[in-house]
Each structure stands twice: as structure tokens, then as C-alpha cells.
């Protein structure tokens, strides 16, 4: 199920990794930057976890764990940067930002009122579920199912 966004050429991601150009640099900037940042955060957390795991396998004087995690962080960072400039993915992100700009966002007052309703509903449901739990616990203790 492929889609052709505005005549996007079907370039494989592997060949796109070796370019340095920015695809449509003035379009979809916010969504592309946030997506790239999210990819970088995921890569950084994965590399940090890998480093913490590898530290136990190498002697404390060795820099192998740092080198492996650092190399993977650099590679992951470059892949994240190139991914948001890959024409097929970039056109999708550009379309996402265009749709986000079309949405009518609620006013501050409406947002506060809706948030209060959601918070009270959550508290009401929590109290109701706690009450059901206490009632069932009492019933099961009364008939001797639990101690």
C-alpha cells in the first residue's frame, strides 16, 4: 500500500543515507524537527542502556563499551536525521503538519474546562473501582473464599 505524495521519487532509504541534502527544507519544519528529536532521544536512551549493559562485560579500564555505544549513537543520529529527509517520509511529515495547521484548536478556557471534567471523571472512576474492590473483598471474606 504505497502512496505517491506529489510525485515523490521512490528512492530507497539505504541510498538516501549517503546524501547530505535537505529535502524541501522550508516545509513541515516543526513536525520534522520534533520527529528527528524523538528519534534521537530513543537512540540515545538505547545507547545509554547498551553502555550500562556493556560496562559489566569489559574491564573498567577499557573504553570499548563507550566506543560501541558512541558509535551506535552517531550512526543512529545520522539515520534519524536522514530519515526525516527521506522524500517518502518527509512528504508524509509535511502532510501531517499541513493537517495540524487545519485543525481548530480549543481556547484556553475550553481546554481548562475539559481538563477539569476529565480529572473529576478519573477520580470518580477510581473511587467507584475502589468501592467495588472493597465490596467484593468483604463478600469473599464473609463467605470464606479468602482469608
43 within 8 A of 80, measured Cβ to Cβ? yes
Check pLDDT > 80 for residue 147. Answer: no
Gyration radius (Cα) of the chain, Å? 25
pLDDT more than 90, % of the chain: 63
What is the mean pLDDT of the segment spanning 93-119? 93
Check whether 7 has a pLDDT greater than 60.
Answer: no
Q: Which CA distances in Å does 12 have to 26, 61, 81, 82, 128?
A: 23, 42, 15, 12, 53
What mean pLDDT do residues 113-138 have? 97
pLDDT at 40 over 80: yes
Between CA 68 and CA 91 the distance in angstroms is: 33
In the chain, what is the straight-line distance between the N-terminal and C-terminal CA atoms, in Å? 57
Rounded distance between C-alpha atoms, residue 74 and residue 62, angstroms: 20
**Would you state the cell numbers that stand for residue 31, as one nine-digit string?**
513536525
Q: How far apart are CA 130 and CA 3, in angstroms?
A: 49
Backbone angles phi, psi at 59, to 5 degrees: -60, 155
Of 28-32, 61-65, 117-121, the one with minimum mean pLDDT is 61-65
Per-domain boundaries in the chain: 16-103, 105-147
Whether the per-residue pLDDT at 18 is higher than 90: the answer is no
CA distances from 5 to 26, 28, 32, 117, 130 (A): 17, 14, 16, 40, 51
pTM over cut 0.85 = no
pLDDT digits (tens, 9 = 90+) for 50-78: 999 998 888 877 888 899 999 999 999 99
Averaged pLDDT for residues 15-31: 85
To which H or E segment does residue 138 belong? helix 108-143
Amino acid at each position: 500500500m504505497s502512496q505517491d505524495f506529489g510525485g515523490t521519487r521512490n528512492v530507497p532509504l539505504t541510498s538516501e543515507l549517503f546524501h547530505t541534502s535537505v529535502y524541501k527544507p522550508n516545509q513541515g519544519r516543526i513536525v520534522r524537527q520534533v520527529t528527528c528529536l524523538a528519534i534521537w532521544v530513543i537512540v540515545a536512551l538505547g545507547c545509554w542502556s547498551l553502555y550500562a549493559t556493556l560496562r559489566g562485560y569489559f574491564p573498567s579500564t577499557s573504553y570499548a563499551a563507550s566506543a560501541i555505544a558512541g558509535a551506535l549513537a552517531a550512526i543512529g543520529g545520522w539515520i534519524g536525521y536522514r530519515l526525516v529527509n527521506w522524500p517518502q517520509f518527509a512528504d508524509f511529515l509535511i502532510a501531517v503538519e499541513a493537517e495540524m495547521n487545519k485543525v481548530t484548536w480549543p481556547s484556553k478556557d475550553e481546554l481548562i474546562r475539559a481538563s477539569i471534567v476529565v480529572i473529576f471523571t478519573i477520580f470518580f472512576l477510581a473511587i467507584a473501582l475502589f468501592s467495588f474492590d472493597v465490596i467484593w473483598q468483604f463478600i469473599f471474606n464473609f463467605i470464606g473464599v479468602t482469608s
